[in-house]
């Protein structure tokens, strides 16, 4: 019998708030976390706003020497993971440690540290380099530090697949549990690259919204007049646990991760396939992995970046998957409130979907007063929607044409093992 995997702990650092509970409260109230940049001076840039984690103080989790030798992305990962592990009530005993893994998705890693040290090199020379520069910028430092922190000796690595990284990490963690390699995996996604270098690069691509006069209204998935995504930072970490292991220790269960599918567009290095070919394939594989059909899906937590081509391609893919049922499937786009957290998106948004199923409450999509007719979907707009959802889909896509889809199932403890 295939092993099942459930979410028993959730941690979130988002542009809305530090922590799971306040982030969730702000989400369901339709608040925006998008504001002018404060982490750097953006005056030279066409885009001067984004989603920063507000009032994040790393010394609440780490001592000052450790803060000085870690990148902000690693600090956010530790904060979110600590919340998730505590939420799960997880205590890793030495004999269990080899069966506890840590898989974290990140797109760009310690880019801020790399940028800082490059400037230091140019200004003051090589003798002023921090000896921790290399681990600060490595993409696998976050899961490595989490493993050390918790004593987890199972599989430990970073998945990097651009903006699908967090969802791929959770999907591959599901596979570790199904294969019997791990009983528990601390997994999700993290990103913190709000620097002048990174933002100017996205500006050069004309990928970002330039609504500097209205930051809170700039991320507008599926809306007419959307003009690009809003870059953000954050972390979303979940404790994914084999069902019987969770039951044996009396863990509270948020939801089951029931299926996972991945694919490639094989189309363009940055542009999505216009007909969503790869997206359809990833969704179909996730449904097959879960042993369900599209007819059973009630809700989609969409990737929905607020880019003209991306939203249209995803909408077309969803219409192909659901056909005549498209109007019955409730869709929401969390990026309307938190922006695009890049490699963290799949982790944060899977956590949001697990809370959606657990609380029987779908957060709204904001800033979509006039929906693009080419993105004809049944969007939850204006206010959160109450009601039980039994089966839901999470999509994440990234540059390189990479796609990931997850199927989550509501867990009420009554289903068979």
Q: Which residue has the tokens 């044996």?
A: 248
43 Cβ partners below 8 Å, 6+ apart?
Answer: none
Per the DSSP assignment, residues forming a β-bridge with 7 are: 240, 255
How far apart, in whole angstroms, are the C-alpha atoms of residue 31 and residue 71? 28
Closest CA to 68 of 78, 53, 83, 58: 58
**CB 253: neighbour CB atoms within 10 A?**
18
Burial environment of residue 306 by CB neighbours within 10 A (0 to 12, 13 to 18, 19 or more): buried
Query: Cα separation of 81 and 363, whole Å?
Result: 23
25-29 contacts at long range (C-beta below 8 A, 24 or more positions apart)? 26/337, 27/334, 27/337, 27/338, 27/352, 27/363, 28/361, 28/363, 28/364, 28/384, 29/384
Q: Which CATH number fits domain 5-410: 3.30.379.10, 1.10.8.10, 1.10.150.120, 3.40.47.10?
A: 3.40.47.10
Q: Which two tokens stand for residue 105?
A: 């998705």
| pLDDT tens per residue across span 327-386 | 999 999 999 999 999 999 999 999 999 999 999 999 999 999 999 999 999 999 989 999
DSSP states along 48-91: -EEBPPTT--GGGTS-HHHHHTS-HHHHHHHHHHHHHHHHHT--
Give the distance between the most distant pair of CA atoms in the chain: 65
Of the candidates 340, 318, 378, 326, the residue with the CA atom closest to the CA atom of residue 166: 340
Six-digit token pair at 174?
Answer: 């599901």
Q: Which tokens hold the place of 251?
A: 């863990």
Give pLDDT, residue 413: 64
Ramachandran angles phi, psi of 213, nearest 5°: -85, -5
Q: Which residue, among 316, 326, 332, 416, has the nearest Cα to 374 in the 3D structure?
A: 316
- Measuring CA to CA, which residue among 349, 7, 1 is closest to residue 184? 7
Q: Are 170 and 352 in contact (CB under 8 A)?
A: no
Kindly give, in sequence order, each residue whose CB lies less than 8 Å from that of residue 355, ignoring residues fewer than 6 positions away.
Answer: 10, 20, 24, 254
**411 and 255 in contact (C-beta within 8 Å)?**
yes
| Confidence (pLDDT) at 383 | 95
Q: Report the catalytic residues.
A: 163, 303, 340
Q: Which residues pair with 159 in a beta bridge?
A: 105
Please report which residue ranges of 103-250 form alpha helices under DSSP H. 111-124, 133-137, 141-150, 165-178, 196-204, 243-248
88-101: string of b/e by CB count within 10 Å (b at 16+)? Answer: bebebeeebeebbb
How far apart are the C-alpha atoms of 152 and 187, rounded to whole Å? 12
State the pTM of this model: 0.97
DSSP 29: T
Neighbours of 291 (CB within 10 A): 11
Which residue bears the tokens 């959802």? 389
In this prediction, the residues of the chain whose per-residue pLDDT falls under 50 are 414-417
Q: How many CB atoms lie within 10 A of CB 200?
A: 15
Question: CA–CA distance from 197 to each of 41, 113, 200, 238, 345 (Å)?
Answer: 11, 12, 5, 30, 21
């Amino acid at each position: 019998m295939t092993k099942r995997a459930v979410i028993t702990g959730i941690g979130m650092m988002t542009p809305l708030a530090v922590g799971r509970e306040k982030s969730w409260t702000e989400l369901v109230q339709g608040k925006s976390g998008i504001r002018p940049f404060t982490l750097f001076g953006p005056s030279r840039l066409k885009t001067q706003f984004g989603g920063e984690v507000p009032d994040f103080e790393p010394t609440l989790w780490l001592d000052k020497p450790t803060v000085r030798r870690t990148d902000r992305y690693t600090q956010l990962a530790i904060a979110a993971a600590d919340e998730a592990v505590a939420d799960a009530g997880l205590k890793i005993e030495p004999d269990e440690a080899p069966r506890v893994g840590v898989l974290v998705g990140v797109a760009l890693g310690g880019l801020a540290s790399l940028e800082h040290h490059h400037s230091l090199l140019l200004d003051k020379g090589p003798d002023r380099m921090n000896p921790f520069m290399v681990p600060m910028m490595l993409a696998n430092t976050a899961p490595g530090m989490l493993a050390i922190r918790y004593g987890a000796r199972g599989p430990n690595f970073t998945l990097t697949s651009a903006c699908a990284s967090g969802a791929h990490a959770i999907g591959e963690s599901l596979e570790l549990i199904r294969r019997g390699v791990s009983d528990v995996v601390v997994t999700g996604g993290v990103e913190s690259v709000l620097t002048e270098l990174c933002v100017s690069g996205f500006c050069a691509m004309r990928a970002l919204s330039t609504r500097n006069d209205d930051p809170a209204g700039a991320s507008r998935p599926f809306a007419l007049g959307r003009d690009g995504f809003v870059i953000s930072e954050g972390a979303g970490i979940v404790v994914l646990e084999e069902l019987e292991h969770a039951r044996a220790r009396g863990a509270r269960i948020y939801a089951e991760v029931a299926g996972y599918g991945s694919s490639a567009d094989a189309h363009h290095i940055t542009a999505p396939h216009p007909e969503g070919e790869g997206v359809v394939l990833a969704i179909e594989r996730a449904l097959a992995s879960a042993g369900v059909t599209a007819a059973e899906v009630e809700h989609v937590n969409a990737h929905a970046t607020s880019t003209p081509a991306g939203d249209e391609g995803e909408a077309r893919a969803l219409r192909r998957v659901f056909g005549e049922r498209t109007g019955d499937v409730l869709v929401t786009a969390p990026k309307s409130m938190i922006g695009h957290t890049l490699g963290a998106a799949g982790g944060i948004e899977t956590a949001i979907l697990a809370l959606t199923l657990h609380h029987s409450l779908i957060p709204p999509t904001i800033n979509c007063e006039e929906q693009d007719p080419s993105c004809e979907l049944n969007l939850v707009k204006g206010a959160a929607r109450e009601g039980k959802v039994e089966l839901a889909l999470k999509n994440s896509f990234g540059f390189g044409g990479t796609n990931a889809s997850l199927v989550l199932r509501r867990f009420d403890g009554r289903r068979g093992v």
